Amino acid sequence: MDPNEFGTSTVPLQHAPYGPITEENLKGANKGKVAVVTGAAQGIGAGIAESLAKSGANVAILDLSVEKQAKTKEACEAQGVKVGVYACDVTDQEKVVATIDKIEQELGPIDILVNNAGILDQRPLIMSTFDSFWKQIEVNFKGPLLTIHTMLPRFRDRGAGCIINIASRSATVDVPMTLGYVTSKAALTRATHTLQREMALDGLDPAICLYALHPGGVLTGMGGTGAGQDVLDKYGDVRDEKFFMDLFKDPPALCGQTCAWLASGQGKELRGLFIDCRQDVTRLLEKGRDALLKEKRNVLTVNFLDGYANEP
């Protein structure tokens, strides 16, 4: 992989909470709301849960085990909000529905859903088992769609809801050895665009808002990992994520505070779009929703030769 292949921003990127998304500006912005965060045991998910708690939301945190979420629970409770901790495999439909039911019984109706749980197996498909490849599709795409499918009827009945899908810049680029990851994140991003249009069909736009959010370069158990030794032995210098450790310079709070800002309703004009949390949301809002949609900004698209169009 060569990062230069994808371009370099000429506008400075944000690498810490800024302006409208700071804790001070979002204090109480989500007071009384109930937020669900999947994959919340550590890293980005933990940062999202804590930011939502700081903005006043009561938080339900989910991961494969309750024990691994102890630190996240403690950090959220320190903000004076209610916190529920739940063990849930997001690829198991019965478990997802039962967990959502339990959350609403214990914390109240859910207002915010953040689909963060994800996995990465950095191997070329030809050296991977199909089960390993498909597991990434299940966790990264099926999981969010199961939680969304469970929540949408409830949001419809209440006439409001916010869904934030933690996507990735990987949804927009071709990176060898990450087929399961880039495919699942592209699918999740496309689903976000399409589901927002479905909300419009049912008269639920903008009452129900969906967003696809790139969390930035966060050094977690997944971000910055390297390929296996057998891959290195076969291909040599593969320029994997570990090679580009200097790109991982964003704290979980940058994504977390962006989620809290979106959940507050201040980013409704960006609903249905792909957002990079390093890019100042003020600039996007200044561009305007109509212009963003007309110019196909912040959506997955294909550019053809001049004169050709993506005809039906």
Task: Please report the DSSP string for 71-102 in residue order.
Answer: HHHHHHHTTT--EEEEE--TT-HHHHHHHHHH
Q: Give me the amino acid identity at 291.
A: A
d(CA 106, CA 147): 18
309: enclosing H helix or E strand: none
Catalytic residue among 18, 181, 211, 308: 181
Q: Count H helices and E strands in the chain, helices first.
A: 11, 7
Beta bridge mates, 276: 214
| Alpha-carbon 250 to chain mean position | 15
- Estimate to the nearest angstrom the gap between the alpha carbon of 32 and the chain centroid: 22
Instruction: Examine the residue annotation and report whether 211 is marked as an active-site residue of this protein.
Output: no
Catalytic residues: 181
